[in-house]
Amino acid sequence: MRDIATHVRQIFDRIDELEPTINAFVTLDRRGATTMAEQVDPAAPLAGLTIAVKDNLDVGGLPCRYGSELWADRIAERDGASIAQLRASGAVIVGKTMLAELACGTTGTATPHGDTVNPWRHDRMTGGSSSGSAAAVAAAMVDASIGSDTSCSIRLPAAHCGIVGLKPTHDRISRDGLSVCASSLDHIGPMTRDVATAAAMLKVMQVDGHDDPTAKLGSPIDGLRIATLGGEFLDECDPDVRAAFNTAIEALRSLGVIITELDLTTVLGGDVMAIEQDMAALAAEMLDHYGERVDEFEQHGGEISPSLRHWFDVYETITPADRARALNRQTEVRHLVESAMAGAEIDVLACPTTRVTARPRAGASELERAPRVLNCTLFSVTGQPSLTAPCGFDRDGLPIGILLTGRVDADSTVLQVGHAYEGLVTTPSAMS
């Protein structure tokens, strides 16, 4: 059994060494973490697990600025529900991590505190918006982190940084204490270096009434049916991404999984790209929460990020009728995808997490460099559990992720498959 206090000191030594390069954190809580380390029950489920929290989720007594100068002086009065559950299970919170302003960006660059650096290659972006949470885990500055995901914000940076990222079933983890982007799309989830840790964290973070997400870990997956998603989910990927994904599918086949296909364009009755337009209408909810404050800030000479300004301009064109139509479409899409999986007896859907690997941080505007995220986006709309796990590297040594998505509330099956696949591959550590 490791000495928790010693482990926490070693974690802060690692942060002191790498943080000047990686720029993953906005706040560190050395005193609080040291005190917690001395008080943790060694028998607690997550005893001594060091965790960083995205700076849009409240940790009592620490700043929570949402990645924005608009809330520069905000201090969280209490822990969000999921953070309280982590603490009660023995986890040690070491600090808060970088994010795009109001979690509205997909590159991990051009934030008020600068760029977060990809630990695999320092000239590459991490992806976002949970950029600091992904980089901190990939660089082993913490054991795990907490991110949020409205469109792709856990899974994209996790894939770009070569780690595991879980977007659980919608509302399986309470959103208490989380800044709002779109209530019907917002998720909280763990970001880790292995699937078992993600499952253990979900077990303590989830609300009552759900099954044990760790129960199936290590169970055989032979006989499960996994459907690959073709069309634009695969055809528009870089060749190295397609090759790594196909290799991962063959590895799963070797475990006795039944591999089939599902055409979601047909299931959804048309262009899957329309889903992104629906998401913009749903995320226009941000104006209700932040619009007046942003307007006042700008009127007094303040500047918000180009990405946030772009999206607020989009949201301002959206009518109440557009929002109502998008909510109805979301319900329809959830039903169509769930029904298609049930009808074909499909347990898990599989596709590459991202269509490209991490792109350069320099050379274009933040908006121009924003990656296409449709492979992740759809499953935020459906609210299904969706896990990214490392599945190889491109020719430049940059990580590639496989996205495994299950039926609503079948998080344990997704974790079971991810854990089994993980056992077949060896993923080196960044900055080891």
Q: Which residues are catalytic?
A: 54, 129, 153
Cβ neighbour number for residue 295 with a 10 Å cutoff: 12
**Burial group, residue 397, by CB count within 10 angstroms (0-12, 13-18, 19+):** exposed
